[in-house]
Structure 1
Amino acid sequence: MSHDEFSLIREWTKRGAQQAKGGLAVGIGDDAAVFTPPPGMQIVACCDTMIETVHFLRETMQPEDIGYKSLVSNVSDIAAMGGIPRYALVSIGISSGWSPPECRRIYDGMYEACERYGVQIIGGDTVSAPDALYLSVTVFGEVESGHALLRSGARPGDAIFVTGPVGGSAAGLAMLLKAKADGVEVSQEWKALAALHQRPEAQVKAGRLLVASGHAGALNDVSDGLASELWEIAEASGVRLLIERDKIPLDRDVEAYAASIGQDPLAWALFGGEDYQLVGTAREASSIKEQFLASGLPLFWIGRVESGAPGVWIADQQGTRPLEKGGYNHFA
């Protein structure tokens, strides 16, 4: 990519240069951004990197989807702490196979996500990459001081919940890859399933409600699969988690597509990843359920926390067995 083409991309990133407001004193246009969190709030920061062929495939993702998902994956990490996402830094490494118009479409997707979640891009970098595109996003958020929700907060007696269906992103990827291999367009029947992979949603409102409830224990986001996230909670909290197979929520399209290809959808739910629902534990389960209902947000109770050696167990009609740690490796 030529110097002039990089100039075009850098010019496009300035779309995020808005008049400083709130806690932002200096945004895009200087050596670094400057912001101050509101009184009584702590900064929450996270960073995630997506690399072509490792974390996404051009065959299954449009440029806008890549940009959107790169931003949402970080917003989800802020949500998993109970925080409010505020600002983002974006660094993009562009290989020769990507044109300026395609890169602009990536930023279109990022700015779409920014608008949805109230995030402002306040800086970053643009560089040349040798053989693939990479996209690194850092998001800064805020949460009430001392109230961030951690993986280590689960206690025996807590109920285990998830904020929505899981397995949709992995099922959508499987469908998209099969359509590509078969040389066919995605049918209208499976468009919604494709969107579960290409345009997952972060659960910021649910995270904020859990903080406000005062009854939340541990919290994590489902980025690597439900099994992996549960294991992280079990090990960080030093507890035993027991979930019930029949209570794990699945999207109707996921179940329908699984049936059409003879696949057990539970594998997608447990080990798929990139659903960006929240999974966690809570006391006063009935109170939290009422608050979610009043807010129009779904919530599913899937198990309980027990004393014992750290681990995750799953119960079904055949009995109770350990749940392996396996999770999504972020391919595609």
Structure 2
Amino acid sequence: MELKDIGEFSLIKKITKDIFVDKSMVIAGVGDDVAVIKTKSEKYSLLTCDVLIEGTHFKRETITPYQLGKKAIAINVSDIAAKGGIPNQALISIGLTKDTKVKYVEEIYRGIKEEAKKFNIDIVGGNTALSKDKIFVDIFLIGEIEPEFLLLRSGAKTGDKILVTGNLGDSSAGLEIIENLDFKFEEKIKIKLKQAHLNPCPRFVEGKIIAKSRLAHSMMDISDGLSSDLAKICEASGVGAIIWEDKIPISKETLAFAKSVKKSPLNFALHGGEDYELLLTSPPENANLIIQKIQGKTETKVSELGEIKDKEFGIKIVKTDGRIMPLNTYGWDHFRM
């Protein structure tokens, strides 16, 4: 059996089975994007890490080192934001090939430092190593949150409304453009979609608003695609879900691009990934309050796109013609891409 046969998430379950965890200290561990740890202070500690590897997550010819540095920090901040927390310190591990130009490394760190400053993150250490033929940047981010504001992916309850910030699919469409530079398309739209992929904006402010409102039951960020990440909330919470195709927020740019290349905009939105929007559930009576709070304090739109069901219901989608079908819950998987 090879990794491609079981995929990333089955592998994680296999290798983390029976690991020891001190449950008196660990609030959330393996199975969530962020570990939540009790401390001696009144706040919980939030721990997360994410890596960008050349050839897997980026190509040197399609992203500047400055963009790479910014993105490395941003995607980790997104994880902390999805808990409603505040990022505080970062450790930077970077692998470099012998032929890497010093200027290239300086530009990576210019991006890292600029993005860290934006979120008041102190860079407190890390590691630098030789990598044989691929560059990688790995960020370990430490944050904090008051226990009463913590949101996990495991809190969804039957009857909850499913909400999402922003639009879905822009990043995936942007990657399609980046990898196919010969696409003939309106330059303004190409730039916007490429920026969505190269320069993600974590919903840090929105995450704090949601958490401090105490109106939501669960939350996570969308990094692997709506279908895949909704399935993670359902699995962690022991529930099912139904979403409506015509309520999934897709930008006019992604709609126009998908039409021009004869691809489904729904596939970009459902399965593309790297949107770094917030996916959350709340009691029905709180959904509009959350929408009003976010849209009243930011320029970010929030869409209600579905409802949490009993586990036995499964995960389904209502098509635009009214048909109810099982939702294919696939997205980014490192070993099956």
Q: Aligned to 1:171, which of 154, 173, 176?
A: 173
Asked if structure 2 preserves the Cα contact closer than 8 Å seen for 1:315 and 1:321, the reply is yes
Give the aligned residue type for 1:219.
M
Q: Which residue of 1 aligns with 2:264?
A: 264
Q: Which residue of 1 aligns with 2:154?
A: 152
Change (3 A) 1:183 1:205: closer
SS where residue 132 of structure 1 aligns?
Answer: coil
Correspondence 1:80-95 to 2 at 5 A: 80-95=82-97
User: Equivalent residue for 1:275?
Assistant: 275
Stretch deviating more after TM superposition (309-318 or 253-262): 309-318
Q: Contact 1:243/1:314 (CA < 8 Å) preserved in 2?
A: yes
Counterpart in the other structure of 1:312: 315
- Aligned residue among 101, 104, 109 for 1:102: 104
Q: Distance in 2 between matches of 1:178 and 1:152?
A: 38
Report what 1:200 is aligned to.
200
With 232-241 and 281-290 compared, the bigger mean Cα shift is at 281-290
Partners of 1:330 and 1:103 in 2: CA distance:
26
Deviations along 1:292-318, one digit per CA (max 9) or x if unpaired, are 222123211001111232732111114
- Cα 1:183–1:303 change in 2 (3 A) is closer
Counterpart amino acid of residue 48 in structure 2: C
Instruction: Look up the match of 1:230.
Output: 230
Deviation, 1:112, is 1.8
Tell whether the 8 Å contact from 1:235 to 1:310 is kept in structure 2 after alignment: no
Give the corresponding residue for 1:31.
Answer: none
| Equivalences, count | 295
Residue range with higher mean Cα deviation, 185-194 or 223-232:
185-194
Q: Which of 318, 327, 334 is equivalent to 1:323?
A: 327
Q: Displacement, 1:330? A: 5.8
Contact kept, 8 Å, 2:163 with 2:306, in 1: the verdict is yes
What fraction of aligned residue pairs are identical, expressed as a percent? 36
CA contact (8 A) 2:53 2:137 kept: yes
AA aligned to 1:303 is G
Q: Deviations over 1:26-65 (max 9, x none)?
A: xxxxxxxxxxx89521110101111100111123211111
CA contact (8 A) 1:75 1:85 kept: yes
The Cα offsets for residues 54-89 of structure 1, whole Å up to 9 and x where unpaired, read as: 111123211111111111111011011111111110
CA–CA distance in 2 between the matches of 1:126 and 1:324?
A: 40
2:54 and 2:134 in contact (8 A); partners too: yes
What secondary structure sits across from 1:54 in the alignment? coil
User: Per-residue deviation at 1:190?
Assistant: 1.4
Given that residues 226 and 270 in structure 1 are in contact (C-alpha distance below 8 angstroms), is that contact kept between their aligned partners in structure 2?
A: yes
The change in CA–CA distance for 1:214 and 1:87 in structure 2 (over 3 A counts) is same
Query: Shift of residue 97 of structure 1?
Result: 3.8
3-state DSSP class of the match of 1:223? Answer: coil
Please, what TM-score do these two structures have when normalized by structure 1? 0.84
Q: Distance in 2 between matches of 1:196 and 1:218?
A: 25
State the distance in 1 between where 2:240 and 2:151 align. 19
Contact 2:177 2:183 in 1 (8 A): no
CA distance in 1, matches of 2:171, 2:237: 28
CA contact (8 A) 2:163 2:287 kept: no
What residue in structure 2 maps to residue 303 of structure 1? Answer: 306
For 1:253 and 1:66, the matched residues in 2 are separated by 24
Contact between 2:272 and 2:331, CA under 8 Å: does it hold in 1?
yes
Question: 1:3-152 residue pairs with structure 2 within 5 A?
Answer: 39-152=41-154
Counterpart amino acid of 2:65? P
How far does the alpha carbon of each residue in 1:170-203 deviate from its partner, in whole angstroms, 9 at most, with x for none?
1001011110xx3999934411111001001101
Tell me the TM-score normalised to structure 2 length.
0.83
Which amino acid in the other structure matches residue 314 of structure 2? Answer: G
**Compared CA separation, residues 313 and 294, structure 1 to 2 (3 A):** same
Q: Distance in 1 between matches of 2:40 and 2:192?
A: 39
- Runs ≥4 in structure 1, deviation > 2 angstroms? 37-40, 182-189, 308-311, 329-332
Q: Distance in 1 between matches of 2:51 and 2:211?
A: 27
Local SS of the residue matching 1:281: strand
Cα pair 1:41 1:142 within 8 Å, conserved = yes
Which residue of the partner structure matches residue 8 of structure 2? none
